[in-house]
Amino acid sequence: MTNLVRWEPFRELISLREAMDRLFEESFVRPWSTWLTSPGEGTLAVDMYETDDAIIVKSPIPGVKPEDLDISITGDTLTIRGETRAETEVKEEKYIRRECRYGSFCRSLPLPVPVVADKAVAEFENGVLTLTLPKAEEVKPKTIKVKTKGE
């Protein structure tokens, strides 16, 4: 049996408009925002995922010492602050290309579930920060075994 699908010409126009909006935003809007930040300010790329027991946050932060990081949880917001420092002194006019950023950075992320901040663990290895934020007991999945009445 064949199903008939009604043709709606405006559906294609809407998807075309969405594609044009996305193209415009990715090409023109986002790059300008990075140019407008001051040289000392930066953002931090993060990966956040969930396990049964915890929220895991990973962030590559090359060139930062663990003692230069400040990590805090306030309510349902995780904040990671830090600072990178230039190791060598080179005169400004001697640079051919300068792409490495030095200065302070800060990133605040909303947490999807309540966590136990007192039991959070932060590890820093090979320039990658890994945060393990245990979930609060009320949000952990619980398995309830169903018994028959005769057991």
Instruction: Give the pLDDT of residue 137.
Output: 83
Q: Render pLDDT for 71-89 as a digit per residue (tens, 0 to 9).
A: 999 988 999 998 877 666 6
Q: What is the pLDDT of residues 113-125, one digit of tens each?
A: 999 999 999 999 9
DSSP 53: S
Amino acid making up residue 38: S
Q: What distance in Å separates the CA atoms of residue 108 and residue 97, rounded to the nearest whole number?
A: 30
Using pLDDT thresholds of 50, 70 and 90, give the confidence band for residue 14. low
Class at the top of the CATH hierarchy for domain 39-87+98-141: mainly beta
pLDDT at 32 over 50: no
What is the domain partition of the chain in residue ranges? 9-36, 39-87+98-141
